[in-house]
Structure 1
Amino acid sequence: MTARSSEFMFGLPWVMGFFHQDWTRDHPTETAAVADQFVEELDPESVLLVRHDATRLLDGLSPDRITTIWEGCAENGAYFFGRGRVADGAQWMRQVIALCDAWLSQQPSVPALSAADLYEGQELADRVRDAVREFEPALGPQTADALAECIRSCSPDLAFRLLLRALSSAAQSPDHTTLSHGQYVQLSDLGTAFNYGEYVVSDLQYLVDAT
């Protein structure tokens, strides 16, 4: 398989990273936080991958499930829908798709996503499901159940990247989630199986408990 288009986290989990603790200081709305990151110099593949992920969630999961995933994966996601501007996860995915379409419409040409970028890893579903259950204590049962449904109804690839983002989010919680060396190796091996770029999983290496 050829390499994916990005060495870093991509798709919807990349967008989740825009919503750090202080995002409201710089952006008046949720859509502005995304639009400001969709700069002119961005590779079209980056936006296409966001659109692809958002469409998969919208087509595969109920609004409540999408809401649970966003709340469990984005930093401070529990407060995201409490501002009254976005009703639920489904409405938010439609807004994200609209932002993607607006940006793509301004490009002189838009390539098709490669087979590598569209790889879903269906044969890795059981391994991703095991990883979700491994980290259920850190994720909470609702997020774990939503990710397990995402494996079935969307794709193992998307569910695994969402799991990585959820672990990063959980690390910011009062419980300060950490990873054992064995757990990190499990995630790294899955990242290799999905043919991810160097930094997709290694961004979590700082969570490995050194004791």
Structure 2
Amino acid sequence: MSMRRFTDFDFGITGLMDTFHIDWVMEGDALHALNEYLWSELNPKEVVLLRRDASTLLSSLTCQEIETLWLKSIAGSFPFGGVIGSGRDWMRMIIDQCDAWLSGKPEPQLSTGDLYDGLEERDAVLLLIDEMSEAGALPAIEQGEYPPVSTVLTECARRCTPDLAFRFLIRMVLRSGVRLTAEQYGPLLRQAEAFSYGEFLMANLRECAVDLDSSES
């Protein structure tokens, strides 16, 4: 797979998650943050892929599974159960806002690379989920609160797409604070290359790895 995506940065639902940083609640509510992300000059491809991810999650996962992926992939807190409602309600809100943004605009042309779900990469992604879980590189879940993160990621890879599950995995490894060895980082990088991700999507993860320079020399 050598087809290039339209951006070197994160995209879709995982791209939106950067908006929900540790202090996002100081700037307004969740709908305000979403609409700030969906600013008027945003690349329409970003909006289409965000809607695509939200639709996939809504049609494939339970409320608890969606909430687990969201809460363990963002830096800040999030008010599920309040005005936002459930994880599925939040996905519906994202879809509605994307539809409003796209209304009346020309439909962007997405390439095969932009739409690559990596179905043939499913086994490799499932293996990486297991390896990161065994390495303690996934965020912990308070007992009884939500399903185990590794279980939800596995279901995402199986019932959504391997691409979407792997993007969640990258974010969770970053959030865990675990320092990856070169042997752990290498397979993640190779998988990112198989998905044709841009350099900036993986840049932060590389900073979490130790002794890369010495192992590459």
User: TM-score by structure 1 length?
Assistant: 0.89
Does 1:188 pair with 2:194?
no
> Which residue of the partner structure matches residue 126 of structure 2?
129
Q: What is the aligned partner in structure 2 of residue 22 from structure 1? A: 23
Note the alpha carbon deviations across 1:6-47, whole angstroms, 9 max, x for none.
111111001111111011112x21011011121222110011
- Structure 2 equivalent of residue 118 of structure 1: 115
CA separation in 1, counterparts of 2:185 and 2:137? 14
From 151, 159, 175, the equivalent of 1:153 is 159
1:42 is paired with a residue whose SS is coil
How many Å separate the matches in 2 of 1:48 and 1:84? 27
Matched residues in 1 for 2:126 and 2:90: separation? 26
8 Å contact 2:44–2:102 — kept in the other structure?
yes
Which sections of structure 2, spanning at least 5 residues, go unmatched? 141-146, 213-217
Matches of 1:150 and 1:82, distance apart in 2: 20
State how far apart, in whole Å, the 1-side matches of 2:26 and 2:170 are: 26
Structure 1 vs Structure 2: percent identity of aligned residues? 37
1 CA distance for matches of 2:8 and 2:195? 12
- Counterpart selection for 2:87 from 86, 89, 114: 89
Runs of 4+ in 1 over 6 A off after TM superposition: none
TM-score normalised by length of structure 2: 0.87
Cα distance in 2 for partners of 1:32, 1:19 equals 11
Residue 169 (structure 1) aligns with: 175
Deviation, 1:58, is 0.5
Q: CA deviation at 1:192?
A: 0.6
> Offset of 1:82 from its aligned partner?
5.1
Give runs of aligned pairs for residues 4-83 of structure 1, distance below 5 A: 4-26=5-27, 28-76=28-76, 79-81=77-79
For residue 137 of structure 2, give the secondary structure of its aligned residue in structure 1.
helix
Equivalenced residues, count: 202
Asked if the contact 1:81/1:88 (under 8 Å) is kept, the reply is: no
CA RMSD in angstroms, aligned pairs only: 1.7
Aligned to 1:179: 180
Whichever residue aligns with residue 56 of structure 1, its letter is: T
CA contact (8 A) 2:80 2:87 kept: no
Structure 1 gap ranges (5+): 172-176
- What is the match of residue 174 of structure 1? none
Q: Which moved more, 1:197-206 or 1:123-132?
A: 197-206
Letter in 1 for 2:101: W
User: Structure 1 counterpart of 2:127, which letter?
Assistant: D
State the shift of 1:112 in Å.
3.7
1:142 to 135, 144, 148: 148
Contact conserved, 1:10 with 1:46, CA < 8 A, in 2? yes
